Amino acid sequence: MSKRDCHRDAGSLHRAFSVFIFNSAGDVLLQQRSDQKSLWPLYWSNACCSHPRAGENSQQAAHRRIKQELGINVELTYLYKFQYQAHYEQVGSEHELCWVWIGFAEAADVIPNTNEIVNWRFFPKTELDAELLNNPAQYTPWMKMEWQRILSDHSEQLRQ
């Protein structure tokens, strides 16, 4: 199915991935999605999320997209996969089986693709937790779910 068809109405279940990038201080990179995105435009989200192409596995796709969106090549560590569904207004939905990965990079390494990303920065974990508590509507639903699980089940892997 095309990307558009996968996200129409309630969404069709399809493969996806999410990547979280941390720096040496333990801060997490978030991006503000382009206003050209049909689902959750201008929302803040994790470093990179997308879909594998036909014949491409999740890790290959994640490497391809972080290079395209952030201009970086990083080693990725697989954390977990999960299934979720989230609706965006009357526009469409995500309905994904999502692989979650982490990697490490520094701000000086990042060269954002302005077609994909309006803004980006590294957030200290405590600041992100406060933001998610006080301004949850500014963040993508998958990022909020993934962040909580990363903190609860995978915090030991966040150290480089």
Report the distance separating Cα 119 and Cα 121, nearest Å.
7
96 is catalytic: yes
Q: CA–CA separation, 144 vs 140, rounded Å?
A: 7
- Among the options 49, 69, 94, 116, which is catalytic? 49
Distance CA 82, CA 100 (A): 8
Q: Which of 96, 98, 116, 146 is catalytic?
A: 96
CB within 8 A of 83, min separation 6: which ones?
A: 13, 96, 97, 98
Residue among 96, 121, 92, 91 at smallest CA distance from 106: 121
Catalytic residues, by residue number, are: 49, 96
